[in-house]
Copies of this chain bind each other. A is one copy, B any other.
C-alpha cells in the first residue's frame, strides 16, 4: 500500500504523437494538455523534438518538431509549476551547439538524447554539452531488442561514466514480452547501482503489452515511466497515461482532469484523421522484432488483408 517516491511520470504525447501528424497539433490542444498535466501531477512533459532546421524544412512540420523557445513560452509562460519541460534531441538531427540556450535562460528542464547503440559516442558528446548548459539529461537508447547483451553492457558502462541523469530502456519495436523487458530492466538497474542515475522505460504497444511492460519494469526498480494520452504515439502507440495514472496509488497523481482532456480533445484529433493504436499489422512487426514502417504504410493505405501482409513479412525467399 506504500508509494514509491522515486517514480516520475513522463508524458511524451506531443513528441511521440507528433510522429502521427507531423507535429501539427493546435496551440489549444498543446496548451490544454499542459494544464492537464499540471493538474494531474504529471512530472515531465515532452513538447517535441528540437530538430535541426538545416535537415528538416519548417514548412513540412508543425512547430513541435522544432520546439523553439518562443513557441514553448507561448504555451507555458515561465512555467511556474511543478511540471518539468522536456524536449528530445536526436543524434545527427539536432544542431545542438547552436540551438540551445543555457538552462537559466530557457523554460526547458530536461533534454532527452535519442540514439541507436552505435551512436552512443555522439550521444555522450551531446549529453555533456547539455549538462554543461545546466539541463537534466536523459539518454534514450532505441531499438534495444536488436542489440546484444554485450553491446548494452558496454553502452551502460559508458553512460555510467557520463553526466547523464536518466538512462532509458526503449522498446522501439514493441517486441519485448514482460519477461524480456524485466530482464533488460534488471541489467540497466544493476549497471547504475552505485550511481545516482535513474532508469526509465519507453514502451510501444505493438503486442498490446506497453502498459504491462511499464508496470512490470516499474516493479523491478525502473522509475521514469513514459506514457502518452490514449497511447497516442507512432504506430501502435505507447503506454497510455490514463492506465498508468490509474495504476499508481500515489495520491499525487489524479485521473479526473485527464478524463476531461480526453473527452474534449481526442475525438477531434481522430476526426482530423490522425490514426494510431494497436492493430494486427503492428503485432506482426512486434512479433518479428522489426521496425513498424511497413505496418504504418499498411495502415495509411487502409489495407485489411492481414494474411497477405503477414505472409509478405515472413517471406524470406
Contact = CB atoms under 8 A, between A and B. Distances in A.
A155 interface: no
B211 A307 contact: no
A306 B240 contact: no
What bracket does the count of chain A residues touching chain B fall in? Answer: 20 to 34
A240 to B, nearest CB: 7
Contacts of A243: 207-208, 283
A256 interface: yes
Interface of A: 177-179, 207-209, 211-213, 215-216, 219, 240, 242-243, 246-247, 255-256, 259-260, 262-263, 267, 280, 283, 287, 304-307, 310-311
B215 A178 contact: yes
A307 B178 contact: no
Given A243-B283, A311-B256, A263 B304 contact: yes
17 contacts: A177-B215, A178-B178, A178-B212, A178-B215, A179-B219, A207-B247, A208-B211, A209-B212, A212-B212, A212-B213, A216-B216, A242-B280, A242-B283, A243-B283, A259-B280, A262-B306, A263-B307
Given A208-B208, A208-B243, 9 more contacts: A177-B215, A178-B178, A179-B219, A207-B243, A211-B212, A242-B283, A243-B283, A260-B307, A263-B305
